[in-house]
Structure 1
Amino acid sequence: MKKLVCTLLALLMLLTCASALAERSDLTTMGFKVASLNATNAHGWRSVYDAQLREVAEEYMELGIISEYQEFCPQNDSATEVQMFETCINEGYDIILINAIGSSGLDACFEAAEEAGILVVPVDNLYPWEGSIGVQTNQYVWAGNACRYLCEALGGKGKILQFNGQVATSGSSVRSDTWAEVLAEYPDIEVVYYGAHNWSQTESKVVMAEVLASGIEYDGILTEEACVGILEAIEEAGAAYPKAMTSDEEIGYLRMLERINADETKIDFYIIENPPGIGATALKLAVRMKAGWEWNDGVLADGTDGNLVYYYEPTLIVTQDGSEGISLAEALEMTKDMEDTDQVSAYITDEVADACFAE
């Protein structure tokens, strides 16, 4: 009988422990040290990325979820990026959010962080580290929807310019591959120029000016952001506007389109969100991961390098007449109090973040 009682007590203890493990840890008791390592802050998208991350970090510090938050920016210098990553490891941060410069050169840092028990979350540019869980806007949707709209706006035929951001990054590579898949469905669409502008309005203006000076003829422009610089080059050269072009979430682009299309639709366009708030989204998810919360089934998708990915699904779309998403007029009203260099951006709520994990 005594043996039976002991066995039952042991079983009860196991069940109690299992129940405790299944419960979510209280985030407000965590006090995590968090570092953000952002490749550059040299253009508007990255500046908003930093600002919205900081916004959530400050809120979480008030709640006790975070005890310390620090930003690091190597300004696209790979050696500095490694040094900053090593500093984060040596200073004992609990969480490192990294929007890396490229897709190589950081393996030793990831390994060292792993050995130190530090959670490293690749954000936006998904560094290919096996076993990591990254956070990214669904670039297959972002690139595919915009490219298909452009092709249809051109009637399925014509010549286009293709501008990537930075070819070495995972996001830009996904967009290129997705564009290629969509363009294969439109054999009468010809890409007559390939270029890159590092998502910079300044660089896109220079590259577009070179295209115009070369005399290349085109009907549409397929680009990863940086549309303001492209249009500035066109206007300064007195060249014709493209019949259609794709996305840039900078407010100045919306206002340029309003002016250009004031009397008639000279440029058909498709804007789909690629929110800089993806960094803030990653922070909300990272603190829950570090606290030991378990992901719900089906929330994460398989990556391409033995990793897993939380994809933010873009939903905000802007077209001239609102035939898809909202109209340009509605978008302008939504953003009327924002600066030209601001970005249309959002991040998930705490309720959405909570719902990603088992209760």
Structure 2
Amino acid sequence: MPKTSKWVSAAAALAIVGTASAAHADKIKIGITQNNVGVDSYQTTYEKAFKAAAAKNPDVETVVLDAGGDVARQIGQMQDLIQQKVDVIIIWPTDGKAVVPVVRKAHQAGIPVVVTNSNIAADGLGFIAAFSGPNNIQQGASAAELMCEALGGKGQIVQISGQPGYTTAIEREKGFEDQLAKTCPGVKILETQPGDWNREKSQRVMEAFLVKYDKIDGVYSGDDNMGVGALNAAKAANRAAGIKFVGATNFAVGYDAMAKGEYYGSIYQSPVDDAEAALATAIAVKQGKTVPKLNYFETPKITKANMDKFTKPVF
């Protein structure tokens, strides 16, 4: 995390976790169903951090599940957790719209639901206790500001978005496009294609863009894993020097590329903070504490100019 931390922080969140022992003699049983742990290192690191944080509290029992990117599987996992009568359910939605009915079912069963990392659709917000994670619309907007800065306010770019139907992908794309149109109308988006959070697929998407467009001034990717895939394609085609790359969720590979001057900027986000904040929020909800409906932690811009203020990501 930033060496001068301004996060709505996991440190504060862990203070809540630490109070659970004093507040309750009985274990709090928390079930979590995650999106797709194996798809990228962010989600893998998140799961490890979640398990580690839970293990530090003897009064917390967890059921840790992974949907593997399959919404039907996640709905089944939610139904199982409801049947188990866990105290709180944490869900990292595979599809923000499709999970709304089962979140409503948990709500009707009296089980509070905390949504983590990527929010559910607006019509489901009345059925959740809280959201814990980044403000993905703001991340997209901040990335647009970086792109505008990198290009000096004019040029043409391509966009590689995340997994279709996934709230984070939708929100980052919206935040980016809205802010770009508002503050940088001289930059035109030629085309948007999904990279599904996958580096290899994003490299293939970028290869197709390079064949289709003779002039590409910039690439915005919904996360740095995809962004580095795009960078690799451009390097292989000997066109990287003329393209500015901007991403979100600064991965270690993006951090390294930034240090080399190959990658212009990104948005710094910690999966450890993400996981710890979700667990702390779930505990606070169970304890009956007042919890904001939307618990955002800060995700600042990072470029080569200020990267010395940030620790290299571990994912």
Q: Identify the TM-score tier after normalising by the shorter chain.
A: 0.7 to 0.9
Segment drifting more, 38-47 vs 25-34: 25-34
1:241: Cα distance to partner? 3.1
Query: Which residue in the other structure is 1:240 paired with?
Result: 240
Q: Structure 1 residue aligned with 2:166, among 169, 175, 182?
A: 169
SS of alignment partner, residue 241 of structure 2: coil
State how 1:269-288 maps to structure 2 within 5 Å.
Answer: 269-277=264-272, 278-288=274-284
**Contact 2:207-2:233 within 8 A present in 1 as well:** yes
State how 1:185-264 maps to structure 2 within 5 Å.
Answer: 185=182, 186-225=184-223, 226-247=226-247, 248-259=249-260, 261=261
Query: Which residue in the other structure is 2:178 paired with?
Result: 181
Query: Which residue in the other structure is 2:62 paired with?
Result: 69
Query: Which residue in the other structure is 1:111 paired with?
Result: 104
- Larger relative CO (CA 8 A, sep 6+): 1 or 2? 2
Residues matched between the structures, number = 286
Query: Which residue in the other structure is 2:51 paired with?
Result: 54
Q: Closer, same or farther in 2 for the Cα pair 1:319/1:291, shift >3 Å?
A: same
**Contact 2:30-2:282 within 8 A present in 1 as well:** no
**Contact 2:107-2:127 within 8 A present in 1 as well:** no
State how 1:84-95 maps to structure 2 within 5 Å.
Answer: 84-95=77-88
Unpaired stretches in structure 1, ≥5 consecutive residues: 1-23, 262-266, 301-307, 344-359
SS of alignment partner, residue 241 of structure 1: helix
CA–CA separation in structure 1 for the residues paired with 2:30 and 2:197: 27
Q: Structure 2 residue aligned with 1:150, among 138, 147, 150?
A: 147
Unpaired stretches in structure 2, ≥5 consecutive residues: 1-19
SS of alignment partner, residue 190 of structure 1: strand
1:25: Cα distance to partner? 9.3
Q: Which amino acid aligns with 1:89?
A: I
1:82: Cα distance to partner? 1.4
**Contact 1:208-1:234 within 8 A present in 2 as well:** yes
Query: Which residue in the other structure is 1:311 paired with?
Result: 296
Q: Which amino acid aligns with 1:33?
A: K
1:216: Cα distance to partner? 4.4
CA–CA separation in structure 2 for the residues paired with 1:165 and 1:27: 41
SS of alignment partner, residue 292 of structure 1: coil
**Contact 2:140-2:174 within 8 A present in 1 as well:** no
Q: Closer, same or farther in 2 for the Cα pair 1:195/1:242, shift >3 Å?
A: farther
Q: Which amino acid aligns with 1:53?
A: F
1:70: Cα distance to partner? 1.9
Q: Which amino acid aligns with 1:222?
A: Y
**TM-score, length of structure 2 as denominator length:** 0.83
Question: Who wins on radius of gyration, i.e. which is larger?
Answer: 1
1:275: Cα distance to partner? 2.5
Deviations 1:265-320 (A, max 9, x none): xx46122213223132111111011111124xxxx3xxxxxxx31111224x4211
Query: Which residue in the other structure is 2:136 paired with?
Result: 139
Q: Closer, same or farther in 2 for the Cα pair 1:237/1:93, shift >3 Å?
A: same
1:131: Cα distance to partner? 3.8
Deviations 1:318-341 (A, max 9, x none): 21122xxx34xx65xx43xx7xxx
Greater helix content? 2
Query: Which residue in the other structure is 1:102 paired with?
Result: 95
CA–CA separation in structure 2 for the residues paired with 1:113 and 1:82: 11
**% identical equivalent positions:** 20
**Contact 2:219-2:244 within 8 A present in 1 as well:** yes
RMSD: 2.2
Deviations 1:170-220 (A, max 9, x none): 222222222222121322111112111111112211211221232442101
CA–CA separation in structure 2 for the residues paired with 1:284 and 1:112: 23
**Contact 2:142-2:176 within 8 A present in 1 as well:** no
Q: Which amino acid aligns with 1:235?
A: K
Q: Closer, same or farther in 2 for the Cα pair 1:319/1:37, shift >3 Å?
A: same
Query: Which residue in the other structure is 1:320 paired with?
Result: 304
Q: Which amino acid aligns with 2:110?
A: G
CA–CA separation in structure 2 for the residues paired with 1:89 and 1:27: 24
**TM-score, length of structure 1 as denominator length:** 0.74
1:141: Cα distance to partner? 2.7
Q: Structure 1 residue aligned with 2:286, among 290, 300, 303?
A: 290
